[in-house]
Structure 1
Amino acid sequence: MTPELLDCVSIRVPASALESFEAALSSICLAVSFYHDEDADEWDIQGVKERGADEDELNAALLIAEIVTGFQPAILRDLVPVAGWLARTQAAFPEQFIGRRFVVRGTHISAPPVPGRITLTLDAGLAFGTGEHNSTRGCLNALERLAKYHRPARILDLGTGSGILAIAAAKLLHRGVLASDIDFRAARVANANARLNGVARFAHAIRADGWADRRIIRAAPFDLVFANILARPLCAMAHELAANLAPGGRAILAGLLNTQVNWVVSAHRRAGLALEHKITDGTWSILTLRKS
């Protein structure tokens, strides 16, 4: 039997072009990963998508990224077996201890629960967010810190990906969490992961275009909003975020480089949100903002 194949797209870019090209691949690909080559100070970005699908859309997205950044990378294309790609991804996905409260593990790890830690079980598959990336780790650390002092009742995970943050909040706070993603596949994966972690009655994901979705607006105001996205859309949505946060509510923002912190903080300060705490993890920053 011929193995099912995925298209694999690989590019190498400087830090200044990372956001644009990562966004271009993320708009089309099933999963995107990126790694920092510290010696060269460049980023390797790799995306996988269904074979032959969305070629015109992908080429258009990459062209826009080239125009925006003024950088034209070499684009490498390859075919990888689905099973082989998932197997390699799982092999590179060891158990991860994050902060003092969380441990993230794939279903291929059968060790008993770690005393004193909340286990988040999910596989490194076709949706972003397994705790390996600095931004996801930082959001979990920010959640742990916030939970020491606050018990938010209404929680939104905007751009949920794998659902890891929604699941973590549901397990730690025992609260209902509404999760959303513009990609229907991510919403489906997030709901499957919620069932896998036994929190399907607390965490529910929907396919939604952010604040434009009426279901999200009807559920507002929120006491806590996660938005692990990218700096540009974070800034664009600052006023909508502020309008849908309850007084005293917090937002945990991630997906931004250290060089973008001032830009993101300024946009949200103009919307009425103040920086409460910042976590720096490598070249990435995670912000906790508060509405007065």
Structure 2
Amino acid sequence: MSTLWRLLAIGPAAPMKAADAVLNAWEDGPALSWSFFEDGSETVWRLDVLFAQQIEVDRFLGEIGLTGADIDVQFAPLPEEDWVRLSLAGLPAVKAGRFVIYGEHARGELAPGEIGIEIEAGPAFGTGHHGTTRGCLIACDRIFASQNQEVKTVLDLGCGTGALAIAAALLWPDARILASDIDPEAVAETDINTAKNGVSSRIEAITADGFTHPAFEGAIFDLVFANILAGPLQELARALAQRLAPRGRAILSGLLEEQIAAVEAAYTEAGLFTEHTDIIEGWAILTLKAR
């Protein structure tokens, strides 16, 4: 087994959250995996990153925006261990509304009334441990609980593991669902997870950049998830609004709390209004409705 290298950085919340956004958008970065945690305080965060080989630490930190003198950094090789097994063993199930996302190691822990989604930690984004995915699930559960919207068609734009598409399929058994991602690896993982959760017959997963795919021609959706980043959310505002059914809803995330105004402005101009705003770990989740 090859040696893994670990970078541990501890610093103020704002630059650490910005670094998290950069890492989530980084398609071909050198990191194998990373995790962010509050370091015992809401104002101080810890970043753990694993690498397959030694790196230029200063260069990596500069690329993710962590260059301040107030960032404490350690970089060293890790002893050889089965890190996948160890990380899974320590990865708890995540609860979001009535949903519980869990790995194979946590099967059998559902309480009455909970809806389980089995997803293993892997290269695609969306195990529920990040506040954006968790917030989207909570917003989805709220829409279902309100019982004031018929949901027959759903889009999970930037699907990652397919967690949100699977959640919609479990809540609305008659809905047809399209899941798309720019990353073919994420689409492949979505196919694996939809089969594992018994909903593959109702979820079509495609590789697409935005709405540039024949599957979107003439498509209208009652519910759209878009858990991506603030920039792409703004760029796609008009196209997304045009594909939203009358009285339909869109759940947006991947934006920081300070980016809410800019994203809301783009969607207000496109004809949508904000129905709910949730803040989880500094990340914003917007539930929008067509006027």
Q: Given the two structures, how large is their TM-score scaled by the length of structure 1?
A: 0.82
Q: Is the 8 A contact 1:4 1:81 kept in 2?
A: no
**Hey, what does 1:33 align to over in structure 2?**
35
CA RMSD of aligned residues (A): 3.1
2:87 maps to which of 83, 89, 99 = 89
- Spell out, residue by residue over 1:41-64, the C-alpha distance to the aligned partner (whole angstroms, 9 max, x if none): 233334456x369x89x9988655
Equivalent residue pairs, number: 283
| Pair 1:151 & 2:153 matched | no
**Hey, what does 1:245 align to over in structure 2?**
244
Q: Given the two structures, how large is their TM-score scaled by the length of structure 2?
A: 0.82
Counterparts of 1:255 and 1:91 in 2: how far apart (Å)?
Answer: 27
State the Cα distance separating 1:80 from its structure 2 match: 5.7
Relative to structure 1, the CA distance from residue 61 to residue 202 in structure 2 (aligned partners, 3 Å threshold; closer, same or farther) is: farther
Query: Counterpart of 2:210 in structure 1: which amino acid?
Result: G
Relative to structure 1, the CA distance from residue 145 to residue 21 in structure 2 (aligned partners, 3 Å threshold; closer, same or farther) is: same
Counterparts of 2:260 and 2:8 in 1: how far apart (Å)?
Answer: 27
State the Cα distance separating 1:106 from its structure 2 match: 1.1
Relative to structure 1, the CA distance from residue 260 to residue 116 in structure 2 (aligned partners, 3 Å threshold; closer, same or farther) is: same
Following superposition of structure 1 onto structure 2, how do residues 188-199 of structure 1 map, counting pairs within 5 Å? 188-199=188-199
Relative to structure 1, the CA distance from residue 15 to residue 240 in structure 2 (aligned partners, 3 Å threshold; closer, same or farther) is: farther
Relative to structure 1, the CA distance from residue 30 to residue 203 in structure 2 (aligned partners, 3 Å threshold; closer, same or farther) is: farther
Q: Is the 8 A contact 1:95 1:106 kept in 2?
A: yes
Counterparts of 1:161 and 1:81 in 2: how far apart (Å)?
Answer: 30
Q: Is the 8 A contact 1:12 1:45 kept in 2?
A: yes
Q: Give the gaps of 5 or more residues in structure 2.
A: none
Counterparts of 2:234 and 2:10 in 1: how far apart (Å)?
Answer: 26
Counterparts of 1:180 and 1:81 in 2: how far apart (Å)?
Answer: 38
Following superposition of structure 1 onto structure 2, how do residues 98-247 of structure 1 map, counting pairs within 5 Å? 98-99=96-97, 101-111=98-108, 113-147=110-144, 148-174=147-173, 175-211=175-211, 213-218=212-217, 220-247=219-246
Q: Give the gaps of 5 or more residues in structure 1.
A: none
**Hey, what does 2:285 align to over in structure 1?**
286
Counterparts of 1:81 and 1:196 in 2: how far apart (Å)?
Answer: 33
State the Cα distance separating 1:35 from its structure 2 match: 2.0
Counterparts of 2:38 and 2:240 in 1: how far apart (Å)?
Answer: 30
Counterparts of 2:154 and 2:258 in 1: how far apart (Å)?
Answer: 28
Relative to structure 1, the CA distance from residue 264 to residue 176 in structure 2 (aligned partners, 3 Å threshold; closer, same or farther) is: same
Relative to structure 1, the CA distance from residue 78 to residue 277 in structure 2 (aligned partners, 3 Å threshold; closer, same or farther) is: same
Query: Counterpart of 2:45 in structure 1: which amino acid?
Result: W
**Hey, what does 2:19 align to over in structure 1?**
21
Query: Counterpart of 1:268 in structure 2: which amino acid?
Result: Y
Larger deviation, residues 275-284 vs 70-79: 70-79
Query: Counterpart of 2:111 in structure 1: which amino acid?
Result: V
Query: Counterpart of 1:90 in structure 2: which amino acid?
Result: L
Q: Is the 8 A contact 2:254 2:285 kept in 1?
A: yes
Q: Is the 8 A contact 1:151 1:173 kept in 2?
A: no
Could you tell me the percent identity over the aligned residues?
38
State the Cα distance separating 1:232 from its structure 2 match: 2.6
Query: Counterpart of 2:92 in structure 1: which amino acid?
Result: P
Relative to structure 1, the CA distance from residue 37 to residue 198 in structure 2 (aligned partners, 3 Å threshold; closer, same or farther) is: same
Counterparts of 1:215 and 1:156 in 2: how far apart (Å)?
Answer: 14
